[in-house]
Structure 1
Amino acid sequence: MNGHLGLVLNESSASNLSRCFHDDNWFKYRAYTFTYVLLFPVAFITNLCAVTVFTLQRKQRTAPSSVVMMNLAVSDLCFSLTLPLRLVYYFRQGIWDYPDWLCRLCVYGFYLNLYTSILFLTLLSVLRWLAVAQPLRHHTLATPTRILLVCLGIWVFVGGASSFFLAQGVVHRGGVPRCFEPQKPSTWYLVLVLNYVALLFGFLVPFSVIVCSYGFIVRRLTSRPASFSERLKPHPPAPRRGSGGGGGECGRRRSLSLVSAVIVTFLLCFLPYHAARSLHLHAVCGGWGCRAVVTLQRLVVVTLCLAASNSVINPLLYYYCTQSFRDQLSRAGSRISARSRSLH
C-alpha cells in the first residue's frame, strides 16, 4: 500500500470497514449503557455539590487552586448533563429523535470536557510545583484574577480546537437517524490528523508537565523534610488552600497520595483512550481488515468509558486535597441533618 503512512484507501474499502464495526454495535451500546447508567447520577450529584461548595466558600473560593477546581467541576457537570441523551440513544439501539444541534452539542461536549479536564489538572500541578519551588513567586504570580484568565484561555483554546466536532451531526444509516458516527469515510482521514494534534497538545505535553512537576514535588517531599517544613512556615495559608496539605508528616503523606492519585488518573483514564483511538484510526484508514477494526473498536469503547469516568474521580480529588472543601461539605451535611431532625 503506497502513500503517506500507507493510508491510501478508496471510498468503497472504507465503507466496507465502516460496516464491520457498525455490525458490532451491540457491544458498544451495551458497554455505553452500563457505564453511563452508573456515571450519570454520581457525576451529576458530586459535581453539582462541588460547584455549590466552591460557590459558598467566600474566602477560599478566591484561592488560585479553588478557581481551577471550580472550572474543572463546571466542565464535569456540563458533561454529565449530556449523559441522559446518550443513554436514551443507546437504550433505543442507536435511534436519534432529537434535533441535530443537540447531537452536535453532545459530541462536542465530550471532547470539550476531556481536554479541559486534562489542562485544568495540568494547571493544578503547575500551581503546586510553584508553591513548593517558588513560594514567594507563587504568592505574587498566582493571583485569582490571573488564574481565572488562564482558565478562560483554556476554555477558549479547547473550545476552538474542538469546533470540528460541531460539524458531526445527525447522519442517516439504514434509513435511521444516527448520532456519534462519522458522516462519511473520507472524514476518518481528517480525524486521524486531528487525533495526532490532540495527542500531542492535549495529552503528551500536559502529561509531561504533570510528571515533571509532581516529580519535583515528590523529591522535595521525600528529602530533607525539616527544611521543607521551614520553607512553608512563612506562608501557612497557601498549603491549606492550594494543595490541601500543610507542613508536617501528615501533610506530606497527603500530598504524596494526591500526587499518586493524579498520575494514576492520567494513566487510567486518559492514556488508554488516546492509545486505543490512535490505533483504531490507523486500522480504519490503513485497511487493516475487519477483525482488527472490530477488535480495536471494542478497545476504544472500553477506554472511552474509562475516560468518561474521570468526571466522577475529580470530586474525590477536591475532597481529599482541599481542607476547606471538606469543612464546607461537613457543615452542609450537618445543616441538612439538623433540618431533617427538626421536621420529625
Structure 2
Amino acid sequence: MATALCNNTSTTWLTECSRDHEHVKFSVYKYVYLLVFPVAFLFNAVVLVVFYLQSRHRSSNFSVVVMNLALSDCSFSLTLPLRLTYYFRGAVWSFPDWLCRVCQYFFYVNLYTSILFLTLLTVLRWLAVAKPHYHRSQATPTRTLLVCLGIWLFVGGSSAPFLYSGVTIRENLPRCFEPSCMSSVRRVLILNYMGTTVGFLLPFFIIIICYCSIIRRLMDLSGLRRTPNICQRNRRHSVHMITIVTATFLVCFLPYHVIRAVHLHATYNQWNCGVRVWLQLTVVVTLCLAASNSIVNPLLYYYSTRMFRNNVMFARFSILSSRRLAMRSRKTDTEEVHQPPL
C-alpha cells in the first residue's frame, strides 16, 4: 500500500484541533451515508432503467441529460460503502491506496458534473420557453450528448489532482480523506478557488439569468387569455424546474462551497483552534448536504416533466405484461405436454 508520509510537526498541526471532536464527525458521516447510499443507488438506478427501456424517449434532450446526471449520482453512490466501512472501523483505511484516491476523486466528479448537468437542463428549459423555434431546430439530442461528454471530460480532467492524495499515516494508522501535509492543504486551497469559480459561481450566475428570463416569459404568456394546453404544461414544468434546481443549489451546493473556502483559509493560516473546530464541524454538515444532492436529483426527474411519470408507469406496465406473457407461455407449454395424443 502506497502511503504519504509527513513529518510529525506537520501532522500534529493539522490534527491538533480536531482530534477531540473526530468521533462527532465520524458519527455524522456514518448515519448520513447509511441513508444516502441505498436511496441514491436505488432511485438513480430506477431512473437509468426507466429511461433506457423507453427507446422512443431516449433521443430527447431532457433524457440525454437526465441519464448522464443519474449515471453520475449512481457512480458516486457506489463509493459510499467504502466510506461507511472506513468510518465504522474508526477511520482506519483497510483497502488499497488507489481506492482511497478513487473515492475522493468521484466525490468531486459527482459534485461538479451534477452542477453542470443541472445548468445544462436549465439552459435547455430556457431555450424551450424563450426560444422554442431555435430549441427545436438547433438543440438536437446529438449536440446535447456532445455537450454532456464535454462536461465529463472537463470535470474529470479538472478533478485529476485529487487522485494525487491517497492514504496517509497518522498515529500509526492508515487514514483516508485527510490532508497529509502543508503542501496538500495548499493544493486543495488552489483547487477550491478553481472549483468555486468555474464549477459553482459561473453556473449559478447562468442559472439566475436563465430563470429571470423564463419567469419574465411566463408572465408574458400568463397575460394571454387563450393559452394552449401545451403552453400551460410547459409553464408548470418550468416552475417545477426552477423550484427544485434553485433549492438544490441553495441547500446542497452553496453552503458547502462557502464553508469549505473559509475552513481551508482557517487551516492554512492557522486560525484560532476554537474557530477551526467550529468550522470543521460545519464542513461536516455541509459536505453531507452536498452528498445528498444524489438523492435530490431524482425529484427533479419526477416533478419537472410529465414524460418521466408516464415512463415510470409504462415501464411498470411493460414488466407486468412480460411476466404475464411468460406465465401464459409456460402454461400453454404445460398443457401441450399433458394433452393426451389423439
Q: Distance in 1 between matches of 2:41 and 2:135?
A: 33
The one-letter amino acid of 2:266's match is A
The SS at the match of 2:215 is helix
Q: Distance in 2 between matches of 1:323 and 1:169?
A: 44
Larger Rg, first or second structure (1 or 2): 2
- The structure 2 residue matched to 1:182, chosen from 173, 179, 183, is 179
1:125 counterpart = 2:122:
yes
Q: 1:271 to 1:284 in 2, by over 3 A?
A: same
Q: Distance in 2 between matches of 1:100 and 1:42?
A: 27
- The structure 2 residue matched to 1:76, chosen from 73, 78, 84, is 73
Per-residue deviation at 1:287?
A: 1.3
Where does 1:303-318 land on structure 2 (aligned, <5 Å)?
303-318=286-301
1:92 counterpart = 2:89:
yes
Name whichever of 142-151 and 13-22 sits farther off.
13-22
Per-residue deviation at 1:110?
A: 0.1
The SS at the match of 2:169 is strand
Task: Tell me if the contact between 1:46 and 1:312 (Cα under 8 Å) persists in the aligned partners.
Answer: yes
Q: 1:336 to 1:65 in 2, by over 3 A?
A: closer
The one-letter amino acid of 1:315's match is P
Q: Distance in 1 between matches of 2:163 and 2:270?
A: 27
Q: Distance in 1 between matches of 2:226 and 2:118?
A: 25
Per-residue deviation at 1:252?
A: 2.3
Partner of residue 231, structure 2? 247
Partner of residue 16, structure 1? 13
- The structure 1 residue matched to 2:256, chosen from 250, 273, 291, is 273
- The structure 1 residue matched to 2:216, chosen from 214, 219, 243, is 219
The one-letter amino acid of 2:264's match is L
The SS at the match of 1:177 is strand
Summarize deviations over 1:101-157 as a string: whole Å, max 9, x none. Answer: 111000000000000000000011111111122111111221111111110000000
Partner of residue 191, structure 1? 188
Where does 1:224-243 land on structure 2 (aligned, <5 Å)?
224-225=221-222
Name whichever of 22-31 and 75-84 sits farther off.
22-31
Per-residue deviation at 1:13?
A: 7.1
Structure 1 length normalisation: TM-score? 0.87
Summarize deviations over 1:157-182 as a string: whole Å, max 9, x none. Answer: 00010001001111111111111111
Where does 1:1-344 land on structure 2 (aligned, <5 Å)?
12=9, 15-225=12-222, 246-248=230-232, 251-334=234-317, 339=323
Gaps of 5+ in 1: 1-10, 234-244
Per-residue deviation at 1:67?
A: 0.5
Percent of paired sites with the same residue: 53
Q: Distance in 1 between matches of 2:93 and 2:129?
A: 50
Q: Distance in 1 between matches of 2:184 and 2:247?
A: 33
Q: Distance in 2 between matches of 1:85 and 1:14?
A: 24
Per-residue deviation at 1:334?
A: 4.0
Structure 2 length normalisation: TM-score? 0.88
Q: Distance in 1 between matches of 2:179 and 2:11?
A: 12
Task: Tell me if the contact between 1:17 and 1:290 (Cα under 8 Å) persists in the aligned partners.
Answer: no
Task: Tell me if the contact between 1:17 and 1:289 (Cα under 8 Å) persists in the aligned partners.
Answer: no
Q: 1:336 to 1:270 in 2, by over 3 A?
A: same
The one-letter amino acid of 1:144's match is P
Gaps of 5+ in 2: 1-7, 329-342
Summarize deviations over 1:212-250 as a string: whole Å, max 9, x none. Answer: 1011111211233255986xx7xxxxxxxxxxx9322x5
Q: Distance in 1 between matches of 2:50 and 2:225?
A: 31
Task: Tell me if the contact between 1:13 and 1:287 (Cα under 8 Å) persists in the aligned partners.
Answer: no
Q: Distance in 1 between matches of 2:249 and 2:24?
A: 25
